Structure formats: structure tokens, C-alpha cells
Amino acid sequence: MMRKWPRRVRAPFLPVRRPTSLAERAFITFERVIKGGLFACSMCGNCLLQETAFICPLRCPKGLRNGPCGSGSLEHCCVDPDRPCAWCLIYWRAEQMGRLDRLLEVQAPLDWNQVGHDTWHQLIRLAWQRGLFAPRYLSDREAWLQQVEQLFYDLRQPDWWQGDDAYHPPHSDQPVSRLQAALQRGEFVVTAEIAPPLSASGESVQRTADSLRPFITAGNITDNPMATARTSSLACSLLLLQHSMEPVLQVTARDHNRLSLQSKVLGASLLGVRNVLCLTGDPPMDGPGAVGALPFDLDAVQIVWILRKMRDQGIFLDGRPLKEPPQLFLGATGTPSAPDLGMEARRLHKKINAGVQFIQTQLVYDLDVFEDWLEALDKRDLLSKAYILAGIGPMRSVRAAHYLAENVPGVRVPTDILKRMEQASDPREEGVQIALELIERLKEMPGVSGGVHLMAMGWESVVPLLVKEAGLMSRFSD
């Protein structure tokens, strides 16, 4: 049920630096009361209302400023099920208002120096400096509106960010990793997810690397999956490299701020880790124990934007030059079974514009839905800009099938597949058979330009069997 009046997620932020004048103090109070009542404003000091159909993006508990994480809906936010997803509301209202295209612009992370301060004061001061109150604009409304647009752009896009809605292709086609090279050669690639251990021993990672090496092109090391602390994804990626397996390092917005992100990825690149998958991360509430910080410092789109600029422009986020830019192949995730296909396509459009080169999808069980998703991307001419690797997860039991169908956001298991699992005399064998049939059809599907991403969910020993039975060993013969 949608509420009539917006509800704040948190108390408004207080300024970190003291307001410098009485006027500023008055504006802060005024804005907090008016915008608080009308828009549930959190006083982020970097207002985006103009771009977000007049719904405050800070109503998202994660503080995402570039779109939804993919786990929410108009009924439920993934962090607080008692409220709608703020970004689903924004897309819905923007569609009503004919302002959807505004959502493609890549927005900056918060400048915490501005947080708690007002925006109106800055707006009026800048408008005054630019002469927007001058009588000459009385007769030229078009010119005035253009100037006002520019004014809002300059306020929301500081010099250190300068986000836009354009596509930014990589500066070089030269592959920086085996995964990128294989994709560029047009191979049907297999990647697989490897969960890091819950210990300071790397034995299990080494064992998995040894058993999967002949069968996959790269292994994804997840970053604290289900918001549960595990051995670092960077350490495990290095272990994979030492055991001759190419890693895909996962970095989540949940577990990184802007400084730790940049230093981690630079370190990863110098160690030889080149594939980086950028994600928002599961909600902190999914993990055990007390919940960590909200809102996040960054979102997945901002991570991609920062890393692409480090690689292609050779600069840190703060503008300092990098002596040696990192070599990176940038990826992100997609959700083919998202409830709103239009919103999902726009979400991926923004990520690809920001710099994403490959997409690994959430688990796919319904190929009709997956084809619709590919078509939605194709209409936006995105399939030629990023490689698509479809997520495949063999189900181990009837319970696992029902768990996926009922509890995992963004996964749709059709009833005929659930029935097959329920009626099978050996559900494990049936789960493998279903996965093989899906791979078989995906191999023929135009638009699946990358291959498959296997998510065995703790059943990594099934990966060699799947690869062999699916006839995907031949790609290693040369």
C-alpha cells in the first residue's frame, strides 16, 4: 500500500562543518522543515529532486543515488519491507511525468562536507551571480529555462565528478585479462562462483582452484556474500592467481567507501587481478549479528564510473593523476527476472554507459523471460556494448528449488521446473539435467555473447560435470 505522505528513513543529517552565516543557518532550518514535510528530505546537501521526479532518493535506506539495487519492488524495500522501494517509486513517477530519460545521468556520491547544509541558499546565490533574476529574461523564457537547467546541473555535478548520460567506451580494445581475450575471440565462456572460506586458511580455495581450473575461464570470488564476513575477496583472488586460475574480483558498495575502493582496486591490478565485478551488495540485514552502516558511501554505478576514470583518464576520484593507471575489465550484474523490465533495462543502460564491459546475470530458469530481457537490452543497443554471461545454478534438492523460487529476489523458477524437481526420483540428477538443458538453449540464443556463469551454491564439484556434459570442453582444445 502506497503512503500518501513520504516517510523519512532517518533523522535529517546535521552539518559536519558549522554554517558560516546567520542566513545559512536560517536557510538550513527553513529547508529542513519545508522539504522534510514535503519530500521526507534527509538534508544531504546535494539535492537531486529535479532529476528524480521529485521523490527524494535518500528515502532509499542504502542511500543509492543512481537507481535501485534490483532487490526491491513497489511494495517492499529490501532493507525495510514496511516501505516501498524508493527507486521503484522514482521510476514509476518519472514515467508518469515523462522524465524517464533524466534517470540516465550518472550522479555523484555525496560530498559529506555539504551534508546537513541547505541547497536553496547555494541555488539562489548562484542564480544571482549568473544574473538569472535580470529583467532581460522576462522576454526570453527559453533562454532562462536553459540557464536554470545548467544551474541545476552545475550544482549536482561538481568538478570532481561531471557525470553525464553518454556512453563511455573503453579507451583501448587491448584485452587486459584472459577472460576479456576469450570473450573478444567470441568463445562461449564459462565462469563460476567460488565462495571464500570462513577461515584464515586458503586450503579450500586452492582445492577448488585445482579442481575447476581445466573447466572454467575465470572464477568469481564473492565479496562477503549474504553480508557475512569471510576471507577477503582480494586475498582469495591472489590465491587463485597463484594456482593458475584467473580471478574475477567482486567489490560491493556495501563494503567499500571511496578510499578503500580505489586503493583495493589499484592493489588488485598491481597483483595481476584485472577482472572486477561491481555490485551494490546484499542488504546488511541479511547477515548475522548487529547491522553495519547505512547509507552506503557509493553505489554500483558510481563504482564503475570511478574505476573507468582511473583506468582511462588516469585519475583518482579527487582528480590527482595516477602514475600508472590500473588495467581493468569491468563487469556488473543484471536481473533478467526483474519485475519491471523497463526499469531493469534502464538500470543496465546506465551501468554500461558508465563503463561496464560484461554482465553476469542473476540465476536464469525461465528462458522466455530471459529472451524478453535480452530484447529490452537490444532495443537500447546494449548487446553490442557488453558481453552477457547468463547465470546458471543447478538445484540440489526440492527444498533448494522452493527456496530459490520463494526467497531469492530477482529469481523466477517456473512451475514446470518446480514440478520436475518435485516429481523426480533423484532431484540432484534432475537439477543437473535442467541446468544442461538451459545451457543447451543458451548456446543457440542470439544475444548471449559471453557464455554462462555457473553459481553452484556450495556444490562446486558439479561444475566439471556440467562443463563436460554441456560439450563446452572443446573450447580448451587449442
The residues binding ligand SF4 (CB under 6 A) are 35, 39, 41-44, 47-49, 56-58, 119
To ligand SF4, the closest distance from the beta carbon of 83 in angstroms equals 15
Q: At what angle do helices 86-97 and 341-354 cross, to 10 degrees?
A: 100
- The owner of cell 529583467 is 135
Q: Is 255 helix (H, G, I), strand (E, B) or coil?
A: coil
Antiparallel, parallel or unpaired: β 387-392 and 218-221: unpaired
CB of 165 to ligand SF4, least distance (A): 18
Burial class (CB in 10 A: 0-12, 13-18, 19+), 4: exposed
Residue 44 vs 182, nearer CB to ligand SF4: 44
Q: Which residues contact 39 (CB under 8 A, 6 or more apart)?
A: 6, 49, 54, 55, 56
Q: Are 300 and 280 in contact (CB under 8 A)?
A: yes
Nearer to ligand SF4, 39 or 215 (CB): 39
CB of 284 to ligand SF4, least distance (A): 20
Please say which residue, 56 or 103, places its beta carbon nearer to ligand SF4.
56
Residues 155, 417 contacting (CB under 8 angstroms): no
For residue 202, give the amino acid letter.
Answer: G
Minimum Å gap between C-beta 133 and ligand SF4 is 23
Nearer to ligand SF4 by Cβ, of 121 and 351: the residue is 121
Distances (CA, A) of 343 to 106, 107, 350: 15, 17, 11
Smallest gap, in angstroms, from Cβ of residue 5 to ligand SF4? 14
Kindly tell me which of 43 and 452 has the beta carbon lying closer to ligand SF4.
43
Closer CB to ligand SF4, 35 or 254, in the complex = 35
- Residues 266 and 15: their CA atoms lie apart, in Å, by 32
> CA-to-CA distance for 384 and 449, rounded, in angstroms?
9
Write down the least CB distance from residue 416 to ligand SF4, Å.
45
Q: Closest separation between CB of residue 34 and ligand SF4, Å?
A: 10
What is the C-alpha separation between 56 and 42, in angstroms, rounded? 8
SS3 130: coil
Residue 88: how many other CB atoms lie within 10 Å: 20
Please, which residue, 117 or 308, has the CB nearer to ligand SF4?
Answer: 117
Q: Which is nearer to ligand SF4, 44 or 106 (CB)?
A: 44
Q: How far apart are CA 310 and CA 227, in angstroms?
A: 27
Residue 123 vs 369, nearer CB to ligand SF4:
123
- Backbone dihedral angles phi then psi of residue 454, each to the nearest 5 degrees: -90, 125
For residue 41, the minimal CB distance to ligand SF4 (Å) is 3
Going through 300-442 in order, the beta strands assigned E by DSSP cover 329-334, 358-363, 387-392
- Which of 407, 431, 432 has its CA nearest to residue 418? 431
Least distance from ligand SF4 to the Cβ atom of residue 45, Å: 6
Q: Distance between CA atoms of 75 and 233, rounded to whole angstroms?
A: 33
Query: What amino acid is encoded at 250 in this protein?
Result: Q
Compare residues 137 and 152 and give the one whose CB is closer to ligand SF4: 152
* 39 close to 56: Cβ distance less than 8 angstroms: yes
Minimal distance in Å, beta carbon 56 to ligand SF4?
3
